[in-house]
Structure 1
Amino acid sequence: MKPYKYYAGLTSQVGFCATPLRLDSYNRCQFSCEYCFASTRQGYGRNERLQIGNPTSLLNRLSRVFEGKISSALDELISHRVPFQLGGMADPFSRIETDKRVTLEYLKILKEYDYPVIVSTKSTKIVDREYLDVITESNIYVRFSITVVDPKLQAKIDRGCPPLEEIAVAAKELHTQGIPVCFRFQPIIPGHEQYFKDYLAVAYESNVKHISAEFLKCPIDANKKFGKSLKVILDDNPIQRYKDLGALKQGREYILPITYRAPVLAAMAKETRGKGITFGFADNDLLLHSDGNACCAASNLYLRDSNYFTANIVSLAKEKSIGERLYFSDFLAGWVPTRAISTYLNSKSRIAVSDSTQPEWLSYLQEMWVGKLGVFSPNYFDGIEITNEHDEHGLPVFIKTHSKIAELVNLSCTSTHPHNRVAEGL
């Protein structure tokens, strides 16, 4: 078992995510979810040799950074108190934690610095007494991931994970301790959307503050790597099932069309907000419609003394009103890390920086802005359209528009909603 060299870094979604700092206790997960995102992506998975994180390294880094010694882009983001996402690649509470207790040590260190952290897990171990003693009064926000599927099938899809009933008990306990909880309904299995109401009712009764929701993505190797029960649900041929629903291939995944996803998610958002719970659209192209200003988790509403990485496309668009134009030069008005980011990106995301007169991050953003880094140019996101205009540097100009999804259910695209339990102080 070797040390996990890349236990901390930036997520691949840094170009449109306000919380791109990843922190992992282990390089792989010991749950056996049948859709396992990690095992269907290159470079990670259940078959990788187990590596463990280094709490001492984290402690040394935080100590150094808050003494003013900054040596990397990661350090810059930490110095700005951008929240860590603990469990960005692998669940921090799978079985190995009982023995190695790396997550427990991370949580102690983060509490020492009152550092903001979003914990993502499918486990209820976080409410075991030794963990609860640490996280009480910590600067923490807990996000439980739950598959939206016929409840009778959940145990077969989320193999090895606690049932919803146990997660609900854990959520109530965290609420009692003053710790905000999010239910992340991910993935939503197509054809099982109607069960969302059942899961939402459990969330409401468990005093959950926020719901985020995202449909299942179908990787190109899904027919081989999806589990047996999930393949049965998807007609024993997940890829063909997705194609039949109009899915298009994006990179290594098939994504359901927005015409399928948007009406369903908009209705979920309306019902969730009607119960006084904030809502996040976790599908990337719908991020602009999420409550809060920190991507789908709305963590800016629930964490204290934290800042967010706003030098990204979604954050820029959220600051604009309908009809306002988005210029690349708008990024120059905000904070941008000055040190290199390329070492924190995987090989498929890295760029050859040709303009040494500006920070590397701006070069990365510029490549994304003009569509050279896959699909994630500004007009990929619902509510942003490209114009025929160009700025003085020849870069395209975009405009924030009335969104089709917002019009569909009369949703507002504002950052927060007045009738939620946060505003009411509950």
Structure 2
Amino acid sequence: MDYKYYLALTSQLPFCSVPLRIDTYSNCQFSCSYCFSKARGGAPLTKSNQEIAPAQLEKRLSQVSQGRISGAVDEFLARRIPVQLGGMNDPFSPWEKEGRKTLETLKILRDYQYPTLISTKNTMLAEEPYLEVLATGNFLVRISITAGYSESRAALEKGVPSWEDRLRAAGALSSMGIPVSFRFQPIIFGEEDAVTGMIRLASTSGVRHISAEYLKLPIEKTSRQITYLSRSFPHMIDTYRKLNARQVGRELVLPSPIKAPGLFQLREEAISQKMVFGFAENEFLHLNSFHSCCNAADKFLKDANFFSSNILGILKRQMAADEIRFDLPDSSWVPTFSVFSHLNSRSRGSANYAARHSPRERWVKLLQDKWNSETERGGPSNFWGISDLGKVDSDGNKTFSVDRNIIRHDAMLHDIS
């Protein structure tokens, strides 16, 4: 059965610079117990699967290249904002050995030289015929790995290649001139020293970028994941609660002050190994010294643009300012078609307002609502080192400041504009 929703915008649009995803399969055969997709309801725990129809993607890219735009997704494609291949499900799970839908998709993206980030835990793409396609396209490969001691990696990841195999795959890809990133997600709290060693090994395999994010614990009692995690890590939930982890959606998330020391430690190690480092935690994204969220895609992909008409973009443009204000210039790019059908209920904002105004006005109002929210979720106060000044500007929007004592790495700001 063809996968109808293979190409879509994600609800991370209010802060993500690459919010466009492609999934070649509607499900995943790997069994990572922390899987964010399953924890957040993105994919059911079922063996059923739908597959992309690559011809539909080719038709769409062809129409967009001819200026035939029929919706917000097409506008993102026309602007050449990168797609994330494997945004919800691994494009190289065992189905790919038979279906080859990912291979067909890669060939189409290669033919259009479309900027693409690939997310996978598998090593299949480091073999032919994938290598030749990747080497002649416009790709950044992100290989994900649980980061911590070997015992933790074995407990959390099931049915995936070993850490050593992924290192070898990174080496094979790098030797062909294909940029490779290691996505350390999740990091096991308390095992940062082991992660430092992993960064050093990654550098010997030609890895050019590291992104890092701590384990988010799924907490639904009916979840198979939490049952397995409780059995494998019996004290993990207690540890998180003692550290005042807060519930965000269906997950427990460690507080920013708890995560910051480990993240800065890993950042310093990556830089010492001549690699680019990306904070992948949402509340640290504004600290990255590049334009593309955590993935640094602007460092590695050609002829690509990035979505910055969102909360993160507004913040990053003002990180050197004494006072941060809500500022979305009229010249900033926003789709002329509505994006609201792509957002979930938590991200969508006021439905009544959305029904009465133009797409741009609706988008600006959504951002203002988040900016001025009394809660931290989604607004500037959610970001590490950003504080509410307790006053508003002439338009009634809150103003914020950057705490220079917390954000102590001025070098991070050198190439942000």
State whether residues 349 and 373 of structure 1, in contact with CA within 8 Å, keep that contact through their aligned partners in structure 2: no
Higher deviation after alignment, 102-111 or 43-52: 43-52
Deviation by residue 1:235-259 (Cα, 9 ceiling, x = unmatched) = 25x4333112220112222111112
What is the letter of the counterpart of residue 335 of structure 2?
A: P
**How far apart, in 2, do the equivalents of 1:193 and 1:371 lie?**
34
Deviation by residue 1:249-284 (Cα, 9 ceiling, x = unmatched) = 122221111121001101110111111111001010
Question: Are 1:276 and 2:274 matched, yes or no?
Answer: yes
**How far apart, in 1, do the equivalents of 2:251 and 2:415 lie?**
31
Deviation by residue 1:388-408 (Cα, 9 ceiling, x = unmatched) = 33234322233344261x33x
Aligned pairs, number? 412
**How far apart, in 1, do the equivalents of 2:290 and 2:276 lie?**
8
Higher deviation after alignment, 220-229 or 360-369: 220-229
Give the structure 1 partner of residue 400 of structure 2: 398
Correspondence list, 1:33-44, <5 A = 33-44=32-43
Correspondence list, 1:244-393, <5 A = 244-351=242-349, 352=351, 353=354, 355-357=356-358, 359=360, 360-371=362-373, 375-393=377-395
State whether residues 218 and 250 of structure 2, in contact with CA within 8 Å, keep that contact through their aligned partners in structure 1: yes
- List gaps (5 residues or longer) in structure 1: 418-426
**How far apart, in 2, do the equivalents of 1:113 and 1:382 lie?**
39
**How far apart, in 2, do the equivalents of 1:383 and 1:413 lie?**
14
**Judging changes above 3 Å, is the alpha-carbon distance between structure 1 residues 230 and 201 closer, same or farther for their aligned structure 2 residues?**
farther
Residue aligned with 2:96, SS: helix
State whether residues 320 and 400 of structure 1, in contact with CA within 8 Å, keep that contact through their aligned partners in structure 2: no
**Judging changes above 3 Å, is the alpha-carbon distance between structure 1 residues 222 and 299 closer, same or farther for their aligned structure 2 residues?**
farther
**Judging changes above 3 Å, is the alpha-carbon distance between structure 1 residues 40 and 357 closer, same or farther for their aligned structure 2 residues?**
closer
Deviation by residue 1:60-105 (Cα, 9 ceiling, x = unmatched) = 1111111011111111111110000000000000011112111111
Deviation at 1:33, TM superposition (A): 0.9
State whether residues 288 and 413 of structure 1, in contact with CA within 8 Å, keep that contact through their aligned partners in structure 2: no
**How far apart, in 2, do the equivalents of 1:318 and 1:108 lie?**
35
What is the letter of the counterpart of residue 340 of structure 2?
A: S
Deviation at 1:41, TM superposition (A): 1.4
Deviation at 1:50, TM superposition (A): 1.4
State whether residues 80 and 114 of structure 2, in contact with CA within 8 Å, keep that contact through their aligned partners in structure 1: yes
Give the structure 1 partner of residue 78 of structure 2: 79
**Judging changes above 3 Å, is the alpha-carbon distance between structure 1 residues 358 and 83 closer, same or farther for their aligned structure 2 residues?**
closer
Deviation at 1:152, TM superposition (A): 3.4
Structure 1 length-normalised TM: 0.91
**How far apart, in 2, do the equivalents of 1:92 and 1:331 lie?**
38
Deviation by residue 1:76-135 (Cα, 9 ceiling, x = unmatched) = 111110000000000000011112111111101111110000000000011120111211
Higher deviation after alignment, 63-72 or 374-383: 374-383
State whether residues 234 and 241 of structure 1, in contact with CA within 8 Å, keep that contact through their aligned partners in structure 2: no
**How far apart, in 2, do the equivalents of 1:35 and 1:152 lie?**
15
What is the letter of the counterpart of residue 344 of structure 1?
A: H
Give the structure 2 partner of residue 155 of structure 1: 154
What is the letter of the counterpart of residue 244 of structure 1?
A: K
State whether residues 144 and 183 of structure 1, in contact with CA within 8 Å, keep that contact through their aligned partners in structure 2: yes
Deviation at 1:48, TM superposition (A): 6.8
Structure 2 length-normalised TM: 0.93
Residue aligned with 1:330, SS: coil
State whether residues 183 and 208 of structure 1, in contact with CA within 8 Å, keep that contact through their aligned partners in structure 2: yes
**Judging changes above 3 Å, is the alpha-carbon distance between structure 1 residues 377 and 331 closer, same or farther for their aligned structure 2 residues?**
farther
Deviation by residue 1:191-239 (Cα, 9 ceiling, x = unmatched) = 3222112211210110100000000011222784326664345325x43
**How far apart, in 2, do the equivalents of 1:321 and 1:224 lie?**
40
Deviation at 1:12, TM superposition (A): 2.0
What is the letter of the counterpart of residue 356 of structure 1?
A: H
What is the letter of the counterpart of residue 241 of structure 1?
A: T
State whether residues 382 and 403 of structure 1, in contact with CA within 8 Å, keep that contact through their aligned partners in structure 2: no
**How far apart, in 2, do the equivalents of 1:198 and 1:229 lie?**
27
State whether residues 230 and 237 of structure 2, in contact with CA within 8 Å, keep that contact through their aligned partners in structure 1: no
State whether residues 314 and 326 of structure 2, in contact with CA within 8 Å, keep that contact through their aligned partners in structure 1: no
Deviation at 1:291, TM superposition (A): 3.0
Pairwise CA RMSD of aligned residues?
Answer: 2.2
What is the letter of the counterpart of residue 90 of structure 1?
A: N
Residue aligned with 1:291, SS: coil
Residue aligned with 2:185, SS: strand
Residue aligned with 1:187, SS: strand
State whether residues 376 and 382 of structure 2, in contact with CA within 8 Å, keep that contact through their aligned partners in structure 1: no
Identity %: 38
State whether residues 107 and 133 of structure 2, in contact with CA within 8 Å, keep that contact through their aligned partners in structure 1: yes
After TM superposition, the runs of 4+ consecutive aligned structure 1 residues lying more than 6 A away are none
State whether residues 386 and 400 of structure 2, in contact with CA within 8 Å, keep that contact through their aligned partners in structure 1: yes
State whether residues 217 and 226 of structure 2, in contact with CA within 8 Å, keep that contact through their aligned partners in structure 1: no
**How far apart, in 2, do the equivalents of 1:104 and 1:357 lie?**
39
State whether residues 38 and 44 of structure 2, in contact with CA within 8 Å, keep that contact through their aligned partners in structure 1: yes
**How far apart, in 1, do the equivalents of 2:335 and 2:326 lie?**
16
**How far apart, in 1, do the equivalents of 2:73 and 2:373 lie?**
25
What is the letter of the counterpart of residue 248 of structure 2?
A: Q
**Judging changes above 3 Å, is the alpha-carbon distance between structure 1 residues 161 and 255 closer, same or farther for their aligned structure 2 residues?**
same
**How far apart, in 1, do the equivalents of 2:69 and 2:90 lie?**
29
**How far apart, in 2, do the equivalents of 1:205 and 1:278 lie?**
14
**How far apart, in 2, do the equivalents of 1:211 and 1:139 lie?**
19
